[in-house]
Amino acid sequence: MNSALPNRHVHLDFHTSPFIPGVGADFDPEEFAKTMAEARVQNVNIFAKCHHGMSYYPTKIGKVHPHLTRPDLMGEMIEALHRRGIRCPLYTPVVWEEHVADTHPEWRQMFSNGRFAQISTSADAVTSQPGGWRFNAFTHPDYQDYFEAHLAELFDNYDVDGVWIDILFMENGACFNDASRKLRTKWNLEADTPENNTRFESLAQEAFCQRFTRFIHGRNPKAAIFYNSTNRAFVNHNVGWTQRAKHVSHFEIESLPSGFWGYFHYPRLARQAMTWDLPFVGMTGRFQKMWGDFGGLKPKAALEFECFRTQATGGACCVGDQMHPRGQLDQSAYRMIGEVYQGVEAAEPFYEGTRPLFQGGVLLSASPGMNETLGGQSEEGAVLMCDELKIDVAVLDDAADLTGMEFLILPDSTPVDEQLKAKLAAYHAGGGKLILSHTAGCDRQGKWQLDFLPIRPTEPDPKFPSYWRSRGDFAPAYGEDARVIYQQGMRVETGDNTRILVDRVESYFNRSDLKFCSHFQTPPDLTAPTTPAVVAGEGFVYFADPVFREYRQAGNVFLRDILQAALQTLEIAPLIGEGLDPHVIATARTKDNDLHLTLLNYIPSRKSMAIDVIERGLTFAGQTLRLSRPCAGVKVFPDNTPLTQNAEGSYNLPERPAGRLLLRITDFHRSSP
């Protein structure tokens, strides 16, 4: 089979309890492959083994499902899919594998207190339920030998397109079984600390990937390889998901918006993956909720948006599904997948040969041992603000090439060591603009590192929530009244050649059991002295509060407007799309002298307690497209219909199509800004 990465994937789960009878009884290999082909699927990740530890082929290494009615269900799938030219990498898990946990307790993950690791929630990571997966230790050499024998059996007996290895991570802190303790000593990471545990997991993952990539490519040099794990991204380039990226044929970003990831998780990770010289896949699901949601089916518009957004960022599309134990596919789901993939396939010529076009970058906000949840919220807030302001950004670590980046955002907590300090100083001295907030720019101990800037954060502000009020002609809409900031900010000293753009107005007092006012935060003391909240200087703007995390947590829209005004202060304006509605996502890619612009107009609605739902794409009628420079024309793909240009130079957007609009902006790069 062709080793090139296809564009349209399905990830087919089959985690089937050994207590369920008649497994595969209704499976028809030709009907199965026909359904996939009619849905325009080019790649199906099929199951060799599931989380229950059950194998679906005649294994001599593991355990065949006791109620498997077709002795080689996996083999029949391979043959039927290959006859239709569809690739089918083989799925197999590592850490969540119940048969191994039953038969080899010595291979299980363990906390330093001797307790075994096991999850206690459902797939949403919130709801408590019985029957949680147990964690096996991929560090154990005997387990690795067992896993290699399992892979060898697959390569010995089947035409293997690739291997999709799932759940390669540790429960937080559960890395103290005997095998792990030996490695911790070897790597000088004995202490049970968050930083050590993070670094240990990263090293252990890299060692595992190195061994098994070498083994797999020894059996088939063209085999696709991917190791699925939590995608832990740090400003330190040598820790986290970047280490697995060195040992895969492509990367996949598992991000089901209806699950705990939400709609703002994928852009943060994709915008880092876009900077790698590595193909990647964006994985969503057809489910209403989450993996294993039998009978759950999201609206077609939601799947459209998720796949079209992935395609716009340069990724291949993948839709997750789970087959019924009897071997039947959900026909309604595949009709919907086929309709969405028809749109994906039709747009493939538009994206072929294009490259991302970044105006600026967002540095990652955490290093090992820091709070990754808060860091992720800061990064998501920064990317979301830039999306709404129509500015394409890359998400970067400390090894990233900053060439061509007009500005860098250091969101809320980005730690800076001596090496990164020198890099940022050189970038700033060369004309690069810096936007930073809260403790970003300090080292891990809280010491201010960016001494080439005439500011210095000194201590946390003792009163919070507090309030902002802009000065003069900077964001004048927010100069009359005080707007609340819920998070605790920093006090900051300002030096020469700085300008205070926004003042902090303190509250009367912090709320306590004995001293409080009204229902929520204490009101602002409008007679008290103010302190700096936003400070600008030559080539930089500093926010004293964690504004990007605040935006992600509270949706405080005025902060986006303040960021827009700060960008204008630094003479940074969007290349395209200024003035489009904030919810319209505009993603530009470049090819030769042209821009290939994707506009997406879908609005998620929180109509359930925890799930954002998209029911339809919206029209672009009444909106105009503004460009930062002249071009030869703007044409709608695929029929090349030209857009009408207005007297002031903007272009009227058409009423149809709704949801997604693909535009080719010709000779954009030939013009001077």
pLDDT in tens, 556-591: 999 999 999 999 999 999 999 999 999 999 999 999
pLDDT in tens, 515-567: 999 999 999 999 999 999 999 999 999 999 999 999 999 999 999 999 999 99
pLDDT in tens, 157-191: 999 999 999 999 999 999 999 999 999 999 999 99
Q: Concatenated DSSP letters for 400-456?
A: ---TT-SEEEE-S-----HHHHHHHHHHHHTT-EEEEETTBTB-TTS-B--TTSSEE
Report the alpha-carbon distance of residue 179 to residue 205 in Å, rounded. Answer: 14
Tokens encoding 436: 């930073």
Report the alpha-carbon distance of residue 272 to residue 268 in Å, rounded. Answer: 7
Is the pLDDT assigned to residue 443 strictly greater than 90?
yes
Report the alpha-carbon distance of residue 21 to residue 24 in Å, rounded. Answer: 9
Tokens encoding 578: 């200024």
Per CATH, the number for 585-666 is 2.60.40
Instruction: Provide the pLDDT for residue 253.
Output: 97
Query: Apex CA 329: angle with CA 63 and CA 72, to 5°?
Result: 30
Fold of 8-354: TIM Barrel (3.20.20)
Please state whether beta strands 63-64 and 90-93 pair in parallel, antiparallel, or not at all (unpaired): unpaired
Is the pLDDT assigned to residue 124 strictly greater than 90?
no
Residue spans of alpha helices (H) in 274-362: 300-312, 331-351
**Contact criterion met (CB below 8 Å) for 310 and 270:** yes
From residue 40, alpha-carbon distances to 3, 35, 86 in Å are: 18, 9, 10
Report the alpha-carbon distance of residue 531 to residue 533 in Å, rounded. Answer: 6
How much is the average pLDDT of 451-480?
95
Confidence band of 3 (pLDDT split at 50, 70, 90): very low
| Sequence-distant (≥ 6) Cβ neighbours of residue 526 within 8 angstroms | 482, 505
- Radius of gyration, CA atoms only, the chain: 26
Helix (H) and strand (E) counts in the chain:
14, 29
Instruction: Provide the pLDDT for residue 672.
Output: 55
Please state whether beta strands 360-363 and 393-396 pair in parallel, antiparallel, or not at all (unpaired): parallel
Sign of the Cα torsion 590, 303, 244, 4 reads negative
pLDDT more than 70, % of the chain: 99
Tokens encoding 413: 């907590």
Instruction: Provide the pLDDT for residue 518.
Output: 96
pLDDT in tens, 472-499: 899 999 999 999 999 999 999 999 999 9
Give the helix/strand (H/E) hosting 559.
helix 557-569
From residue 144, alpha-carbon distances to 12, 46, 107, 112, 398 in Å are: 25, 22, 10, 22, 33
**What's the mean per-residue pLDDT of the chain?**
96
Phi, psi of 574 (to 5 degrees): -60, 145
Report the alpha-carbon distance of residue 101 to residue 96 in Å, rounded. Answer: 8
Q: Which residue has the tokens 């799930």?
A: 611
Instruction: Provide the pLDDT for residue 259.
Output: 87
Confidence band of 121 (pLDDT split at 50, 70, 90): confident
pLDDT in tens, 246-304: 999 999 999 999 988 999 999 999 999 999 999 999 999 999 999 999 999 999 999 99
Is the pLDDT assigned to residue 1 strictly greater than 50?
no
pLDDT in tens, 63-120: 999 999 999 999 999 999 999 999 999 999 999 999 999 999 999 999 999 999 999 8
Instruction: Using DSSP, state whether 187 is helix, strand or coil.
Output: coil
**Contact criterion met (CB below 8 Å) for 55 and 46:** no
Task: Reply yes or no: is the peptide bond before residue 130 cis, omega within 30 of 0.
Answer: no
* Terminal C-alpha separation, the chain: 46
CA 112 from chain centre, in angstroms, equals 31
pLDDT in tens, 625-636: 999 999 999 999
pLDDT in tens, 308-338: 999 999 999 999 999 999 999 999 999 999 9
Report the alpha-carbon distance of residue 619 to residue 288 in Å, rounded. Answer: 25
Tokens encoding 567: 């960008």
Confidence band of 126 (pLDDT split at 50, 70, 90): confident
Confidence band of 671 (pLDDT split at 50, 70, 90): low
Per CATH, the number for 360-569 is 3.40.50.880
Confidence band of 2 (pLDDT split at 50, 70, 90): very low
Q: Report the phi/psi class of residue 90: left, alpha or beta, with left for phi > 0 and alpha for psi in -120 to 50.
A: beta
Beta strands in 197-289 (DSSP E): 224-227, 251-254, 280-285
Residues comprising the chain, all counted:
673
pLDDT more than 90, % of the chain: 95
**Contact criterion met (CB below 8 Å) for 619 and 601:** yes
Domain positions in the chain: 8-354, 360-569, 585-666
Report the alpha-carbon distance of residue 314 to residue 292 in Å, rounded. Answer: 28
**By C-alpha distance, which of 38, 47, 39, 36 is closest to 73?**
47
How much is the average pLDDT of 22-39?
98
